Amino acid sequence: MAGKIRQMIDTIINQRAKDNAMLVGVIKTKLMLKGIDPNKFTAQSPDDPAVIAKLEAVIKDLK
């Protein structure tokens, strides 16, 4: 399977930034500093369980 990581990243960005361009940059930087490069993953990226677990933890923290 592929694309789940991109989908999770987009969900995080959309939920936090709500189309605010300045916030999109900040949220992407926060993800980068948490060890997830948001520009590295596309809809074709394989569903790496380690990255998915990291993103699930980020989603939990952001609540």
Partner 1 sequence: MGIKTAFSSKTELQDVVSDIQSQFGDFEANLVVFFASSTFGPEAVASQMGAAFPQAETFGCSTAGEIVSGRMLTNSVVAMAFDRQSVKTAKAVVLEDLSSDSYDAFSSFEQCFNKPMAEMDPKQYVGIVLIDGLSGKEEQIIDRIGDLTNVNFIGGSAGDDLKFAATHVYANGKSYSNAAVLAMIEPVGEFAFVKTQSFCPLAKKLVVTKANESAREVLEFNNKPAAAAYAEAIGTTVADAPNHFMHNPVGLVFEGEPFVRSPQQIKGDSMFFYCSVLEGMELSLLESTDIIADTKKAVETARQELGGISGMINFNCILRTLELNQKGLSSAYGELFSVAPTIGFSTYGEQFIGHVNQTATILLFH
Where does this chain bind partner 1 (CB under 8 A)? 16, 22-23, 25-26, 28-30, 32-35, 37, 39, 61-62
Work out how close the CB of 59 gets to partner 1 at its nearest, in angstroms, rounded to a whole number: 10
- Nearest to partner 1 of 25, 46 (CB atom): 25
- Nearest to partner 1 of 6, 54 (CB atom): 54
What are the φ/ψ torsions at residue 39 (nearest 5 degrees)? -85, -10
- CB-side neighbour CA atoms (13 Å) of 35: 8
* Cα distance between residue 5 and residue 47, in whole Å: 6
